[in-house]
Amino acid sequence: MTRAPVRTPRLVLTPVGLDDVDDLAVLYGDPQVAHWTGPWNPAGVQAWAADMAARWNTDGIGKWMARDRADGSLVGRGGFTRFDLAGEPVLELGWAVRDASTGRGYATEIGRAALDWAAVHHPHLPIVAFTEVHNRASRAVMQRIGMLPVGTLRRDGLVEGRTGIHPDAPFALYRVEP
């Protein structure tokens, strides 16, 4: 299991655990984040943190909390979820950055750090990322970190449980090979 913090020039990325519930509630309550993820209630945040902690324990992969290296303040979260995409095992890369921190390159920094980490710890797995087709900011991050668009995902269960709050929008799918 690779639970050591990951350091970037501006961030410290630490595996999500139950100690992060309060910060996650702040993150998911942020209007910029809630626009894409929908509202979260305390029980949902607690369950998500428990699931991520379990994934780190069983898979050695999960999401990280992203905090500023200088002062420890919450920037967001990012990292991986392992799952099957239409029967193929992949790592899904995702991030969420607080409104006060958007537009400063933090999502790109998280994404690049995650790709570097995966190249060392799980070099055999392809990496995908997806977002609503109209989420231009996330799509730009995917392109900046070297991911290529490979199509769209339908909402018919191909990406189970990933419906967000924009139910009429398909997801743009990006990919990078190991």
Cβ distance 15 to 64 under 8 Å?
Answer: yes
Residue-number span of the structural domain to which 70 is assigned: 6-176
Residue 13 lies in a domain: yes
Number of domains in the chain: 1
Residue 1 lies in a domain: no
Residue 154, pLDDT score = 67
Residue 133 lies in a domain: yes
Residue 161, pLDDT score = 44
Q: Does residue 123 register a pLDDT over 90?
A: yes
Structural element, H or E, at residue 75: strand 74-85
pLDDT digits (tens, 9 = 90+) for 61-118: 999 999 999 999 999 999 999 988 888 899 999 999 998 888 999 999 999 999 999 9
pLDDT digits (tens, 9 = 90+) for 150-162: 988 765 544 444 4
Residue 129 lies in a domain: yes
Residue 74 lies in a domain: yes
Residue 147 lies in a domain: yes
Which of 101, 94, 102, 75 is closest to 142 using CA atoms?
Answer: 94
Residue 77 lies in a domain: yes
Give the model's confidence band at 165: pLDDT under 50 very low, under 70 low, under 90 confident, else very high: very low
User: Which CATH number covers residue 47?
Assistant: 3.40.630.30
Residue 160, pLDDT score = 42
pLDDT digits (tens, 9 = 90+) for 17-68: 999 999 999 999 998 888 888 778 999 999 999 999 999 999 899 999 999 9
Per-residue three-class SS string for 5-58: CEECCCEEEEECCHHHHHHHHHHHHCHHHHHHHCCCCHHHHHHHHHHHHHHHHH
Residue 155 lies in a domain: yes
Supply the pTM of this predicted model: 0.89
Q: Order across the sheet with 171-176: list the strands.
A: 6-7, 11-15, 63-68, 74-85, 88-97, 127-132, 171-176, 148-153
User: Per-residue pLDDT averaged across 140-152, rounded?
Assistant: 95
Residue 110, pLDDT score = 98
